[in-house]
Amino acid sequence: MDTSNRFAQFAPADAVSIIVGEFEKAGCRQTKETKKVTEFATPRGQTVYLVKTTSRLNGINVMVHPNVSPSVLTRLPGVSSVSPQHRFHSNMTRFPKRIHNGETKTAYGWQVSIDTLGGISSFLGAFDTLSL
């Protein structure tokens, strides 16, 4: 059952709390939190980041390690799209860094979009079986 419409009245902070709860239900453990992202360890120890600043109940944005092929990511259940280029964010401390726009290196990865709350557990379950 798609519950995204049921939660449409929630403000973004409330939406983030609901999304975090779905990550935890899927067996992920929160390992770090900043104003913009929440870092999770999957049951098998892989790192993913929830982008809190752009995630909504009907559009959840998750950052994954840049070594995963975008073509593999697009085939995982729950995924509606994958960014066509790497996305950069300084708070993704467990991901590799490279020069983007400035003079300092910034962490980067692929942004995966998930359209529904139910898609979170489907995506994370399949993602966690990948070898990085």
Q: Where are the alpha helices (DSSP H) in 1-132?
A: 12-25, 70-74, 117-127
Q: Kindly provide the residue ranges of all beta strands, DSSP E only, lying in the chain, ordered along the sequence.
A: 29-33, 37-41, 47-51, 60-64, 79-82, 87-88, 97-99, 105-114
Return d(Cα 96, Cα 29) in angstroms, integer: 21
Q: For 40-89, how does the pLDDT look when each residue is reduced to its tens digit (9 = 90+)?
A: 999 999 999 999 999 999 999 999 999 999 999 999 999 999 999 999 99
Phi, psi (rounded to 5 degrees) for 96: -65, 160
Tokens found for residue 107? 């962490």
CATH topology classification for 5-127: Aspartate Aminotransferase, domain 1 (3.90.1150)
Give pLDDT, residue 53.
Answer: 93
Sign of the CA dihedral with 2 first, then 13, 110, and 26 last: negative
1-33 confidence digits (pLDDT tens) = 455 455 544 557 899 999 999 999 999 999 999
Q: What is the pLDDT of residues 82-122, one digit of tens each?
A: 999 999 999 999 999 999 888 899 999 999 999 999 999 99
Q: What is the Cα–Cα distance from 57 to 65, expressed in whole angstroms?
A: 23
Its pTM stands at 0.90
At 12 the pLDDT is 73
**Structural tokens at position 39:** 């870092």
Per-residue pLDDT, 88: 97
Sign, CA dihedral 98-93-13-61, equals: positive
Tokens 């593999």, residue located: 72
